[in-house]
Structure 1
């Protein structure tokens, strides 16, 4: 499925077709099952509800509701067209159901590495969505910036996310400390 998406993106680029439609619609990329797009202002409560579930928060750093509101608003349509960094909403293509969020951002170690992250509603865990989303997101980013270098960090106990990262070709590269917390680090 992803190879088709990547081939589609490259075909568009080669034919010099303007991708403005996707940027106007705030869609980063899409597969037959998933849409990755910018959040809309009206979706703030939906976004915040993701962090109300203790199962989702199990492997994420604690942030207050006010912190999540600030993060949401900072990323709301903040990036110019063509910029793939930021927080993106992940939705089911079939019924537009909210699945979760994913992000691409500069890694906090001062390098030019781009960090991949995500959080999904619990009912979407274990359905292959994380693998599909990460593969789609990385392929999209490499289409935009073929020289991009990717990293991801996850809780040491989050073996499911570690398997997802390994499945898409990322390799374990020791541990990384963020805010005093030791995390498993992966590189592509």
Structure 2
């Protein structure tokens, strides 16, 4: 899957994207609310190769997409099917360099539209750390609704965290 928006190209990752992606995930602030710690020089190839391999969305495989602004990868979108019929979950990470420019909203919104129109998914959801207010605002900007707030339900990075579930149907667009 490859497509463009007004300012972005969204496409599968290429091996030449490694340094741009490393710059996104080698940041403590970016990874603070993610399930993984920041990338290191030692593990970046292993982690990046997983993104390279995720080039198609199927029931068995996740899709990882690079968000390219001008000539640089500034974001990472992921989509995978859940165990529920025609339901996908989305995840994303963006460089702090582009915060406040609307690029994440543009990228995630266009991905959501593609998933509903071309993949005919019934439902899209996002699960996030309740402390991640930037991600909450992004979900709300693209039309997702907060459907659940779970209290201390997820053990991550040596602490219990609250989780939020956002969801939307194509009729919410």
Residue 143 (structure 1) aligns with: 117
Give runs of aligned pairs for residues 154-173 of structure 1, distance below 5 A. Answer: 154-173=128-147
Q: Do the aligned partners of residues 111 and 175 (structure 1) sit closer, same or farther apart at CA in structure 2, a change above 3 Å counting?
A: farther
Asked if 2 retains the 8 angstrom alpha-carbon contact of 1:114 and 1:149, the reply is: yes
8 Å Cα contact 1:29/1:140 also seen in 2:
no
2:65 corresponds in structure 1 to 88
Does residue 111 (structure 1) correspond to residue 84 (structure 2)? The answer is yes
Aligned to 1:60: 34
Tell me which protein shows more strand as a share of its residues: 2
Runs of 4 or more above 6 Å deviation: none
Partner of 2:12: 38
Aligned partner of 1:183 in structure 2 is 163
2:23 counterpart residue number: 49
Shift of 1:77: 4.5
Aligned with residue 108 of structure 2, among 122, 134, 145: 134
Contact 1:29 1:36 in 2 (8 A): yes
Shift of 1:163: 1.4
TM-score of the two chains, using structure 2 as the length reference: 0.78
The runs of 5 or more residues in structure 2 that have no matched partner are: 169-173
Following TM superposition, by how much is the alpha carbon of 1:179 offset from its aligned partner in structure 2, in angstroms? 4.6
- Cα RMSD after superposing both structures: 2.4
How many residue pairs get matched?
A: 157
1:47 Cα shift? Answer: 1.4
The worse-fitting range, judged by mean Cα deviation, of 155-164 and 42-51 is 42-51
Partner of 2:3: 29
Shift of 1:60: 1.5
SS in 1 for 2:17: helix
Name whichever structure is richer in helix by fraction: 1
Distance 1:71 1:148, change over 3 A: farther
Shift of 1:40: 0.8
Over residues 63-85 of structure 1, what are the superposed CA-to-partner deviations in whole Å (9 max), with x where a residue is unaligned?
354665334212315435x7694
Instruction: For residue 182 of structure 1, give the secondary structure of its aligned residue in structure 2.
Output: strand
- In the alignment, which of 77, 97, 101 is matched to residue 102 of structure 1? 77
**For structure 1, which segment, 68-77 or 53-62, has the greater mean C-alpha deviation from structure 2 after superposition?**
68-77
